[in-house]
Amino acid sequence: MGKFVITKRANGEFQFNLKAGNGQTILASEGYTTKTACDNGIESVRKNAPEDGRYDRKESSNGKPYFNLKAANGQIIGSSEMYESVASRENGIESVKKNAVDAVVEDQTV
In tens, the pLDDT along 14-41 reads 999 999 999 999 999 999 999 999 999 9
Number of structural domains in the chain: 1
- Distance between CA atoms of 49 and 93, rounded to whole angstroms? 9
What CATH number did the domain enclosing 73 receive? 2.30.29.80
For residue 75, how many C-alpha atoms fall within 13 Å in the half-sphere facing its CB? 7
In tens, the pLDDT along 36-81 reads 999 999 999 999 999 999 999 999 999 999 999 999 999 999 999 9
Q: Which amino acid is at 60?
A: S
Q: What is the residue range of 75's domain? A: 3-107
In tens, the pLDDT along 79-91 reads 999 999 999 999 9
Which pTM value belongs to this model? 0.94
Terminal Cα-to-Cα distance of the chain (whole angstroms): 22
DSSP 85: S
In the predicted model, is pLDDT for residue 110 greater than 90?
Answer: no
For residue 98, how many C-alpha atoms fall within 13 Å in the half-sphere facing its CB? 12
